[in-house]
Amino acid sequence: MRLVISVLWLLVNKFTVLTIEDTNTIDSELVDALPPIPLVPAPLCKPKWEKRLPKLFLISALDTRGTSLLLPVEIRTTDTSELHSIKALLDSRATGSFIDCDFIYPKGMNIRTLSCNIPVFNVDGSPNKAGQISKVVDVFLHYKTHFERMLLAVSGLGKQSLILGYNWLKDHNPKIDWEKKEVEMTHCPLLCEGGHALQKEQTYQKRTELWAL
């Protein structure tokens, strides 16, 4: 009789306490069953100096037998002020300016590592065998009265140590005498010291001509 009354009481009572399983066990089982959440890398914030570099480089097979011009220049490191003499190849077939890895590594020159590699292609569209650009060096370039700060892409250049490509030639638009193999920096932008010196000289000449009138 008591058993029947107990069963009826459980059926009538809506607020009967239910048995609760261990929540820690349930949570751990659910977590193990869930697929792993892929980690999305945070967007890279490039420094200003890296934003000045192009998205890709073009370079060609180098042949200096009468088709290119070697320019004796000096480069000075921006951190230690070490001065190195080097010959720069003027090559309009290359879009950027490069320095050979075998030249800088023995000298212990400091390099900057890029956050994203820059691909390098040959003029026929095939990837360059030297691989992508992952490092650059920050130097001052000296040539006669010309003086500028620039980033050189580090790559394997074979017999060449330094290449000044089309972008450099376009920005400075030098006067080149191919017969005498001489280069005059006559149209430098104001971003380099040669441009400031040229502007002062042109201003002085204009004033002299006005005074002569």
Read off the tokens for 98: 């490069």
Determine, yes or no, domain membership for 165.
yes
Angle at 144 between CA 143 and CA 150, to 5 degrees: 30
CA–CA gap between residue 56 and residue 53 (Å, rounded): 8
Distance, CA of 89 to CA of 160 (rounded, Å): 7
In a domain, 184, yes or no: no
Decide if 23 is inside a domain. Answer: no
CB 92 within 8 A of CB 170: no
In the three-class reduction of DSSP (H, G, I as helix; E, B as strand; rest coil), residue 56 is classed as coil
Q: Residue 29: inside a domain, yes or no? A: no
Residue 149 lies in a domain: yes
Cβ proximity of 57 and 43 under 8 Å:
no
All residue ranges of the chain with pLDDT < 70 are 1-44, 60-67, 191, 193-213
CATH number of the domain to which 113 belongs: 2.40.70.10
Whole-number pLDDT of residue 86: 94
Q: What is residue 98's predicted lDDT score, i.e. its pLDDT?
A: 94
In a domain, 180, yes or no: no
Please list, in sequence order, all residues whose beta carbon lies within 8 angstroms of the beta carbon of residue 190, skipping any fewer than 6 positions away: 196, 199
Q: How far apart are the first and last CA of the chain?
A: 134
Burial 113-149, CB ≥16 within 10 A → b, else e: ebeeebebeeeeeeebebebbbbbbbbbbbbeebbbe
What residues pair up with 139 in beta bridges, in sequence order?
A: 77, 150
pLDDT value at position 136?
93
Residues 6+ apart with CB under 8 A from 111: 104, 135, 136, 137, 154
> What pLDDT was estimated at residue 101?
92
24 class by beta-carbon count within 10 Å (0-12 exposed, 13-18 middle, 19+ buried)? exposed
Does 151 reside within a domain?
yes
Phi first, then psi: give them for residue 175, nearest 5 degrees. -90, 115
Domain count, the chain: 1
Q: Which domain holds residue 90?
A: 48-62+69-171
Three-class SS state of 68: coil
DSSP 3-state assignment of 9?
helix
Residue 195 pLDDT: 43
Judge whether 25 lies within some domain.
no
b/e code 164-191 from CB counts within 10 Å (16+ = b): bbbebbebbebeeeeeeeebebeebeee
Determine the pLDDT at residue 6. Answer: 53
> In this prediction, what percent of the chain has a pLDDT beyond 90?
21
What is residue 18's predicted lDDT score, i.e. its pLDDT? 47
